[in-house]
Amino acid sequence: RGVTHDLEFERWANKVWDLQNGLGSEVSLKDFRKDVVLEFLNEAGQVALVYKIYRCWPSEVQMLPELDANAHAVAIQSMKLENEGWERDVEVPEPNEPAFADPPA
């Protein structure tokens, strides 16, 4: 994702490893795993595929992008998720893609 003010991913990553907490308190074992629903959209913005991913946790996080003033780059934050299983949601139908006539009849 691009850089955002939303802190939700950062809070989740800090549940897995938070250097500000003392020894033995770096991990929030009670709630660091989450179930995630991953939706893939087609070019029209319609949901095309859905996967349910179970008991995920972030294993790698890059919140601060590369800071190179000479580079022609875009700031991107990334997170690698580990999981304990997944399945495709087969109930999601194939979308009917929109169509139009240009110029209109």
In a domain, 105, yes or no: no
**Whole-model pTM?**
0.74
pLDDT value of position 63: 84
In a domain, 103, yes or no: no
What's the rounded Cα separation, in Å, for the pair 42 and 44?
5
Print the domain residue range for 75: 8-19+26-88
In a domain, 101, yes or no: no
In a domain, 45, yes or no: yes
In a domain, 52, yes or no: yes
pLDDT digits (tens, 9 = 90+) for 18-45: 767 666 666 777 888 999 999 999 999 9
Ranges under pLDDT 70 in the chain: 1-2, 19, 21-26
In a domain, 31, yes or no: yes
What is the 3-state secondary structure of 27-73? Answer: CCCCCCCEEEEEEEECCCCCEEEEEEEEEEEEEEEECCCCCCCCCCC
